[in-house]
Structure 1
Amino acid sequence: MAQAPVKSGVSVLLQGDPSALPAALRGLINNAQFSDVSFLVGRQRQVVHAHRCILMCRCKVFQTMFSRQSSQEMSVPFVLADMQPEVFLAVIEFIYTNSVTLNGQTALEVLTAAVEYGLTDLRKLCVDFISRTLTVDMACEALQAAVTYGQNDLRQRCLVFIERHTMEIIKTQSFRELSDLGIVSILQSDQLTIDEVPLIQAVREWAYVSSVVLDVPVSVVAQDAVRELRLVLLSPDELTTLERENAKDDLIPEMQIAQAWKFHALKKVSDSHPHHFHRRKGTLAREHHHYLDPPSK
């Protein structure tokens, strides 16, 4: 189809090869030539060279940072002691080229940096990469980052993965290092592929680790998490065993255990906490379960 002729005096925007500019700018990444700003990154204070005009036009955080500098401070390097050089270079790569090279070792830290620097498109690239490369060992670490930085899309993708691999997930170190908000987000799910008995034991192990790290009693550190445990799913014998274990650390409030015994006595689902009576996807069948809601699918 023939193009209409351009009228004389009319300006037209013409697009060249869209890959040419990023390719050219890639050559300026950490290039000392014509650089007018430098950063000392990480514990080893690795020098990273950059160009103010590029950083400022692409990132408001850098724009604010540079605008606060006096003329005398222009030659003083910025110190970024808490960031790994490879993470900062990934941020610089994105700023210069609108693309980023990620790997499983640095993706979560690049995500953190993207949030801190307000780089929305980099954040989206990190979330997509992390979601596609989740493993059992890193799933809880990714979930924790999502919870900490309010990344709901990543949080949902992590939960789906954790729901599918719950038995393996609870054995990982990153599960034991979750915050209370992180573990609560897991325990609220109906789709966990695990029975309540090993899940309670996993929460107990998590609580002991958190108690040592935070230097607070087990019952205090776990007070929000244990509210999400579904004790009514346990048989009377299992409840009796739980009471004996609980006498050692008071992990679960006595009132919560009493509510489970009340259900066994009355065979009636409470209206106050209906989700406590939902069977999870991995809940093993017990004789009293026919009094509960239908199992999760």
Structure 2
Amino acid sequence: MILKSTRGLHDSLALILDMPEMCDVTFLVGKRHAPIYGVKAILATRSRCLYQLILQHQRTAEAESSSKKSKKGNRSPLQQKLVIDMHDYLVEDFRRFITFVHSGKVKIDANNVIGLLCASVEYGFPDLQTACTKFIQRSQDRGEGKQILDSAWNYQHKRVSQKLICKQCCKSTRNLTTLKTGSEKPF
């Protein structure tokens, strides 16, 4: 017999993110450099891209601390937390992404779907990417794409957001041309 009880695990893993003392990596997110906490082992096992990001920053931090170590003496590795700047994401979007990485659950809405989509593409989460893409498509089919397009401008430096903006602008131009000429084919 195999018992699977994942609900408690999901909740516990998400709860860890609210306990900075249990986390060993801090992301400084957005213009305000808001701290968002995570566990390196979970992040690295869930995504090869996150593993490489953590490894790169860890090596840089170790190189910096080894040059400072000779001046100040030894510091315990338990006192050191890895700090990674993530200036190109909105705080709440990245918080939800990190929660998804740790717990496998996330609430997708019109305010965060673009941030989650960009992060899922950048860090290799195809299941989240698919869910975000389907959410965007359903929203557009219901005529609710304006709020999503507005939030896409927050990520205009990300390729996936640029494609969405271009697609929506082309669709709007086509609709405007149809209204002006009364035909489906622009002149």
Distance 1:75 1:47 in 2: 12
Describe how 1:108-257 pairs up with structure 2 within 5 A.
108-134=114-140, 135=144, 137-138=146-147, 148-149=159-160, 178-179=165-166, 183-184=169-170, 186=171, 194-197=178-181, 230-231=186-187
Q: How many aligned positions are there?
A: 163
Over aligned residue pairs, what C-alpha RMSD do you find? 3.7
Say if 2:12 is the partner of 1:21: no
Q: Aligned in 2, Cα 1:198/1:109: closer, same or farther, shift over 3 Å?
A: farther
Q: 2:94 aligned to 88, 98, 105, which one?
A: 88
Please, which runs of 5 or more residues in structure 1 have no aligned partner? 1-11, 156-177, 200-227, 232-297
Q: Identify, as 1 or 2, the structure richer in helix.
A: 2
Distance 1:118 1:46 in 2: 23
Q: Report how far residue 195 of structure 1 moved.
A: 3.9
Task: Work out whether residues 30 and 50 of structure 1, in 8 Å CA contact, stay in contact via their aligned partners in 2.
Answer: no
Q: CA deviation at 1:52?
A: 0.4
Larger radius of gyration: 1
What TM-score does the superposition give when structure 2 sets the normalisation length?
0.69
Relative to structure 2, which stretch is displaced further, 38-47 or 97-106? 97-106
Partner of 2:77: none
1:100 to 99, 106, 114: 106
Instruction: Show CA shifts across 1:83-132 (max 9, x none).
Output: 11111111111111111122222211211111111111111121222233
Name the CA distance, whole Å, in 2 between partners of 1:187 and 1:32. Answer: 45
Closer/same/farther in 2, CA of residues 188 and 93 from structure 1, 3 Å limit: same
1:50 aligned residue (29, 38, 50): 38
Q: 1:77 to 1:140 in 2, by over 3 A?
A: closer
Contact 1:187–1:229 (8 Å) recurs in 2: no
Q: Deviations over 1:241-274 (max 9, x none)?
A: xxxxxxxxxxxxxxxxxxxxxxxxxxxxxxxxxx
CA contact (8 A) 1:31 1:50 kept: no
- 1:42 and 1:94 mapped to 2: Cα distance? 19
Label 1:196 to 1:66 Cα distance change in 2 as closer, same or farther (>3 A).
same
- Could you list the runs of 5+ residues in structure 2 that have no partner in the other structure? 65-79
CA distance in 1: counterparts of 2:172 and 2:45, whole angstroms? 44
> What residue is the counterpart of 2:19 in the other structure?
31
Which is bigger in relative contact order (C-alpha 8 A, separation at least 6)? Answer: 2
Q: CA deviation at 1:25?
A: 1.1
Q: For 1:117 and 1:36, locate their aligned partners in 2 and report how far apart those are by CA, in whole Å.
A: 19
Q: Secondary structure in 2 aligned to 1:116? A: helix
Name the aligned partner's letter for residue 21 of structure 1.
L
TM-score of the superposition, structure 1-length normalised?
0.46
Instruction: Say if 1:183 and 1:132 are closer, same or farther in 2 by CA, change over 3 A.
Output: closer
Kept in 2, the 8 Å contact 1:61–1:117? The answer is: yes
Query: CA separation in 2, counterparts of 1:35 and 1:136?
Result: 37
Identity among equivalent pairs (%): 21
